[in-house]
């Protein structure tokens, strides 16, 4: 019946939905009505053995909440980026501002003291916390003093943690040993409080060397590029990347890490939690300017948090908010990158793509 009405195909894939908000509401009501206690809840993504191209635009229409004047600040998402150091201030900004441009209400950045003034200068929209420390700033400290600094850093983040719907860990983080140790404890705290997190950039360097930080945590998303993925495969599967069997290898990797969701970035983005494998190939751009991965990580955080809200309904048919978040963010970034490229061609920059996020989402999910 669901397949007949255009919701779930015979293989469990999401099929096209009307962009009309009123029609969509009726369709969603039908899904809820048909998914009562005596009917098995359909999986939005395919069965365990499936691998398929996801209908990213339909996922975007379902996951993106309507704009409701009755909602208050924060209900559309509170995102925090953990990253930003002396060398790297652009990446955390890109991730945090992208979350706002997509539709999150509040976006925080937890960075080092040196990075904070720079990131603050990029935009007054971001809430910037200069709380992280690097080794050079405490090089003269005793071990006991360093321990107290670490406790202070964790305490500053802990004060905010329960307010956040999702974290983005890694953009502009760098590889300072003391900083990475602090961030590893922040990840442990997030897991304890069941806060979802997206790991990108140098966060993946940390995770690759400490797999237990994410192992078996279903609310963790890893977003490796080609080199980061290669290191993960070598570390976890003890082999080289197999492009001939890319989907099977990705499924094995995610399964070996305990069912975390992995979004392998590439010409086609591949997404797996160890059970399903979905690809997103729509749109895209030949321009490969740095920073697009930061847009993606901020987008995954927003869409994951929105999908998590949908899943909180006891009658919801949505099975895995992390996978939905990845599909939606991948589809939107690809559309925005395509639109930016039509306007700017070879000179397209990450900032140009960010400016196209709102227009691209509006084209798929009209606000009115």
Does residue 32 carry a pLDDT above 60? no
Between β-strands 78-82 and 197-199, what pairing exists: parallel, antiparallel or unpaired?
Answer: unpaired
Amino acid 313: pLDDT: 63
CA distances from 346 to 98, 146, 293 (A): 22, 47, 18
Residue-by-residue DSSP string for 305-352: HHHHHHHTSTT-----HHHHHHHHHHHHHHHHHHHHHHHHGGG--HHH
Q: What is the pLDDT of the chain when averaged over all its residues? A: 88
> Does 292 belong to an annotated binding site?
yes
> Does 231 belong to an annotated binding site?
yes
Identify the band that residue 318 occupies on the pLDDT scale cut at 50, 70 and 90: low
Does residue 41 carry a pLDDT above 60? no
Mean pLDDT of 151-179: 97
Q: What is the 3-state secondary structure (H, E, C) of 202-234?
A: HHHHHHHHCHHHCCCCCCEEECCCHHHHHHHHH
Closest to 339 (Cα-Cα) out of 363, 368, 365: 363
Sketch out the chain's domains with CATH numbers.
70-364 (3.40.1190.20)
> Does 171 belong to an annotated binding site?
no
Residues shown for the chain: 368
Backbone angles phi, psi at 78, to 5 degrees: -125, 110
> Does 294 belong to an annotated binding site?
yes
- With a pLDDT cut of 70, the percent of the chain lying above it is 84
Does residue 123 carry a pLDDT above 50? yes
> Does 174 belong to an annotated binding site?
no
The four Cα atoms 197, 199, 202, 203 give a dihedral, to 10 degrees, of 50
Does residue 10 carry a pLDDT above 60? no
- Cα 279–chain centre separation: 16
Mean pLDDT of 4-24: 39
Q: How far apart are CA 29 and CA 25, in angstroms?
A: 6
> Does 230 belong to an annotated binding site?
yes
Mean pLDDT comparison of 8-12, 13-17, 63-67, highest-scoring range: 63-67
- Helix/strand/coil for 191: helix
Mean pLDDT of 309-323: 74
Strands (E), the chain: 51-53, 78-82, 106-112, 127-132, 166-169, 197-199, 220-222, 261-264, 269-272, 277-280
How much helix, strand and coil, in percent to the nearest 5, is found in the chain?
50, 10, 40
The model carries a pTM of 0.87
> Does 247 belong to an annotated binding site?
no
- DSSP bridge partners of 80: 108, 167
> Does 18 belong to an annotated binding site?
no
Q: How far apart are CA 190 and CA 152, in angstroms?
A: 16
Identify the band that residue 12 occupies on the pLDDT scale cut at 50, 70 and 90: very low
> Does 258 belong to an annotated binding site?
no
- Cα 244–chain centre separation: 27
Identify the band that residue 76 occupies on the pLDDT scale cut at 50, 70 and 90: very high
> Does 286 belong to an annotated binding site?
yes
Q: Which tokens hold the place of 206?
A: 């940390």
| pLDDT tens digits for range 236-288 | 999 999 999 999 999 999 999 999 999 999 999 999 999 999 999 999 999 99
Q: Are 272 and 234 in contact (CB under 8 A)?
A: no
User: In sequence order, which residues have a C-beta less than 8 Å from that of residue 12 and are 6 or more positions away?
Assistant: 42, 43, 44, 45, 46, 47, 50
């Amino acid at each position: 019946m669901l397949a007949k009405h255009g919701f779930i195909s015979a293989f469990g894939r999401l099929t096209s939905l009307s962009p009309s908000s009123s029609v969509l509401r009726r369709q969603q009501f039908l899904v809820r009505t048909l998914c009562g206690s005596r009917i098995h809840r359909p999986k939005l993504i395919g069965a365990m053995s499936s691998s398929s191209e996801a209908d990213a635009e339909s996922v975007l229409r379902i996951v993106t909440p309507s704009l409701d004047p009755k909602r208050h600040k924060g209900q559309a998402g509170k995102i925090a980026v953990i990253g930003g150091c002396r060398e790297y201030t652009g990446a955390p900004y890109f991730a945090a501002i992208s979350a706002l441009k997509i539709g999150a209400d509040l976006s925080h950045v937890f960075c080092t003291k040196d990075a904070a003034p720079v990131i603050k200068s990029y935009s007054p929209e971001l809430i910037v916390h200069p709380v992280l420390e690097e080794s050079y700033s405490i090089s003269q400290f005793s071990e006991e003093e360093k321990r107290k600094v670490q406790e202070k850093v964790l305490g500053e983040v802990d004060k905010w943690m329960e307010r956040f719907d999702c974290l983005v860990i890694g953009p502009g983080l760098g590889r300072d040993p003391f900083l990475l140790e602090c961030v590893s404890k922040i990840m442990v705290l997030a897991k304890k409080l069941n806060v979802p997190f997206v790991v990108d950039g140098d966060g993946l360097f940390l995770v690759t060397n400490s797999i237990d930080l994410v192992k078996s945590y279903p609310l963790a998303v890893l977003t490796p590029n080609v080199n980061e993925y290669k290191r993960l495969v070598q570390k976890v599967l003890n082999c080289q990347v197999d492009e001939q069997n890319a989907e099977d290898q990705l499924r094995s990797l995610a399964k070996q890490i305990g069912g975390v969701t992995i979004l392998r970035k590439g010409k086609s983005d591949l997404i797996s939690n160890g059970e399903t494998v979905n690809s997103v190939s729509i749109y895209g751009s030949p321009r490969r300017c740095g920073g697009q991965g930061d847009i993606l990580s901020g987008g995954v955080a927003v869409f994951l948090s929105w999908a998590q809200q949908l899943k909180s309904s006891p009658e919801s048919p949505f099975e895995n908010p992390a996978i939905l978040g990845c599909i939606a963010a991948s589809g939107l970034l690809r559309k925005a990158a395509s639109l930016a490229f039509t306007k700017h061609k070879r000179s397209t920059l990450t900032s140009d793509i960010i400016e196209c996020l709102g227009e691209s989402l509006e084209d798929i999910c009209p606000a009115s």
